[in-house]
Amino acid sequence: MSELDKTAPWAALRAFTDARIALGRAGTSLPTREVLTFNQAHAAARDAVWAEPEFGPLRRNWPQVPEVRSRAESRAVYLRRPDLGRQLNPVSRAELEALGSPAPDLLIVVGDGLSAAALDHAPELLQALLPLLAGLDVQLLLARQCRVALGDEAGEVLGARAALMVLGERPGLSSADSLGAYLTYAPQVGRLDSERNCVSNIRPGGLEPAAAARRLAYLVRESLRRELSGVTLKDESEARPDALPGGPRLH
C-alpha cells in the first residue's frame, strides 16, 4: 500500500471486515499483492462450487443417517439446471417413503448446495444445535447436488412438521465456505422463499456455529409453537436468551 493510501480515512476499517476496501494502488493499478489475493479468492470460490461433498465427518458422529440425491446426476448438470437440484431422485424418494419412521417434528437436511467446503462447519453446527432441541423428534438426512427446496419434498414425504435445510451458500470472494440454514414450517413442494427463515454466513469468520445454533433453535421452537415460518416469524432470540437443555429424540 502506498504512503498516500496508508493515510486514507477508511484504511483502518479494513481490520473489521473481509470486504475488499482500502486496497491501495501502484501507479494507476492495484498492488500486485491485491491482484494475487483476488485471484486466489476466485480460485477458492470455483473449487468450492465444483467440489464433491465429503460427508465423512458427519458420518463419524451420526453413522446411520440416510443419504439422498437430487435429480441432478452430476455437478455439471446441477449447475446448469437448478430446477433438478430442487427435486428428489426417484430412487431416493422411494427410499424415504420406505423408511417407515414416525413423522418427525423437524427434518434437518445437510447438503452440499453451492459450496461443499462449507460442510466442514456442519458437524460443529449440529453438535451445538441438537442439544437445544430437547424433546423434539428430529430426523437427520444428507443430500447431494441439492438446492434449498429439496427439503420441501423430503419433508413432505416424511410428514415432518418443519424442515431445516443446511447447505453451502454461493461462494463469495471473501468467503467460500459459508453455510446457510433455511427453516420452513409444513414443508411441501411449491413453498415460496417468503415462507422460509434464513440464517446465513455460518462459519468461524462470520456467524459462529454456536451462535447460529441458538438462533436456529429459537426459530424452530417458535415456528412449531406458532405454526408458521417466513416473513411472519421474526428472529427475537437475542431478546430471549433462555437456555434450552437436554437433547432431541433422534430417528
* Residues annotated in a binding site for adenosylcob(III)alamin: 148, 169, 198
Cα distance between residue 227 and residue 207, in whole Å: 27
CA distance readout (Å), 57 to 54, 117, 120, 122, 151: 8, 12, 8, 9, 21
Backbone φ and ψ for 69, nearest 5 degrees, come out as -130, 155
User: Sign of the CA dihedral 69, 71, 77, 81?
Assistant: negative
Cα distance between residue 76 and residue 138, in whole Å: 32
Query: What ranges in the chain are assigned the alpha helix state H?
Result: 3-6, 32-50, 56-61, 75-80, 82-85, 90-97, 122-129, 150-158, 209-226
Residue ranges for the known binding site are: 148, 169, 198
Grid cell for residue 107: 427434518
CB 193 within 8 A of CB 133: no
